[in-house]
Structure 1
Amino acid sequence: MIADLIPVIIPAAGTGRRMKADIPKQYLKIHGKTVLEHTVSQLLSHPATGQIIVAVSDDDPYFERLTVAGHPEVKRVSGGKERSDTVLNALAALPEKLQSGWVMVHDAARPCVRHEDISRLVDGISEQDCGGILAVPVRDTMKRSVQTCLIEHTVDRVGLWHALTPQLFQVPALYEALSLAKANGIVVTDESSAMEWKGYHPKLITGHADNIKITQPEDLALAAFYLNRDEE
């Protein structure tokens, strides 16, 4: 279990092209608040988290209009071209006193993460671990395609997990892994994949499947349902 307050990085520099919206998906609204506001508020209200660092593009005109932008524990930093660049920028922006500690990284488009899952992640990681991630076991039958719509074979789902966020790692190790992966041209899709490439074996902490990532237009309605349920 980690005792100190943990800073949280939220990469929010993406455009979310698959949403087919006029604005980035993190600024679409659910129940009168943007997706990003829901996400930041959920993280701010957890007792284990400290400063929230939101990494957005330099030409982002939306973030400063949000109520959470003025919160004393919320800091804006410049994002990068790729997610790994964005996280590296945010890690470099951490105050010096936090550079040797732990950090969470959480997707901007996951507003439905439960407090109990964040607690489970924090409680499940010890100071001796390299870190860990929230995840859920794969339940569906998995297929691999040989072409766009043709099945090559069925993938054995035993041992397969859906990776979620937050992901929790020690700052120096994560910074080194992301930096070296970038220098070697390694494509990483989340923080854990950089740590895995470096030779670490992060822990899998079971979370809830309702911690969805808003990616497609229909995800907004599902997120609205989950958020409304949590508020009742």
Structure 2
Amino acid sequence: MPFLSLIIAAAGQGRRLGTGSNKVFLPLGDKPILAHTLAVAEASPLVDEVIVVTRPEDIPLCHQVVTGGPYRKVRQIVTGGRERQDSIAAGLKAVAPAAEWVAVHDGARPFLSPALLERVITAARDTGAAIAALPVKETIKRGNTEDLVTATLERRGLWAVQTPQVFRRDWLAAAYREAEINGWQATDDAALVERAGYPVKLVPGEEVNIKITTPGDLILARAIMAGDS
């Protein structure tokens, strides 16, 4: 089976959460937020190694979480950059030479299911790149700098993107090289891969696969955990 490396983005500062610390180390149930994703990766036969990217000041705490598992698939804990894109670039440089596929997942999405991970990986192997996403249900409007509506967008065909995102390693590496050369900036890896000219498959995600960003998200996550227990 082709070698797959999973990069976990865990270098956020948690500004919108208002905790003053890295949100992935906050408790959720009986373990830190980050540990939930590590557990799914550890159990998946499709994941061969894990690279965790975090802030330099959080590396000791990250080591503590990893060894407390223990999560034996974690090969490296890498120092992230100022922006998410910089962090994933650092993680990409750390993946094993044998890796043919690279998956990227947000450390603050603790409810990644084994089934969703498998679906995205399977789709990527068919097309070269695939991402989890949900069709947009709400009406979407575009506003201006004064918060006045300038347009109502056609909802059909719009998707709200999640992670995991899975790519051929050579495609993702090429997209990051072009981004560095051309100064491209994006909020997810798929945008860089798309801009480099590669097709990306949309895979239906899961409503529960939330990203913990705000205090309300944390309340919801803890409610989900309480419902599962």
1:106 has 2:71 as partner: no
* Equivalent residue, structure 2, for 1:221: 219
Q: Which runs of 5+ in 1 are unaligned?
A: none
* Equivalent residue, structure 1, for 2:118: 119
SS of aligned partner of 1:227: helix
1:175 has 2:173 as partner: yes
TM-score (norm 2): 0.91
TM-score (norm 1): 0.90
* Equivalent residue, structure 1, for 2:210: 212
* Equivalent residue, structure 2, for 1:72: 72
CA contact (8 A) 1:40 1:68 kept: no
AA partner of residue 84 (structure 2): R
1:148: how far off? 4.9
1:201: how far off? 1.8
SS of aligned partner of 1:201: coil
AA partner of residue 89 (structure 2): L
Q: Distance in 2 between matches of 1:4 and 1:223?
A: 33
Out of 41-50 and 182-191, give the one that drifted further: 41-50
CA contact (8 A) 1:134 1:165 kept: yes
Deviations along 1:182-212, one digit per CA (max 9) or x if unpaired, are 2211111111000011111200011112111
Q: Distance in 2 between matches of 1:136 and 1:5?
A: 27
AA partner of residue 114 (structure 2): H
**Count of residues in Structure 1 that have an aligned counterpart in Structure 2:** 226
1:16: how far off? 1.9
* Equivalent residue, structure 1, for 2:97: 96
Percent identity among equivalent residues? 35
CA contact (8 A) 1:7 1:51 kept: yes
Alpha-carbon spacing, 1:68–1:206, altered in 2? closer, same or farther (3 Å): farther
AA partner of residue 166 (structure 1): P
Q: After the TM superposition, which parts of structure 1 deviate over 4 Å for at least 4 consecutive aligned residues?
A: 67-70
Let me know the Cα RMSD of the aligned residues.
1.8
SS of aligned partner of 2:5: strand
SS of aligned partner of 1:111: coil
Alpha-carbon spacing, 1:22–1:32, altered in 2? closer, same or farther (3 Å): farther
Q: Distance in 2 between matches of 1:102 and 1:210?
A: 25
Q: Distance in 2 between matches of 1:72 and 1:114?
A: 19
AA partner of residue 108 (structure 2): A
Alpha-carbon spacing, 1:222–1:148, altered in 2? closer, same or farther (3 Å): farther
Q: Distance in 2 between matches of 1:210 and 1:38?
A: 13
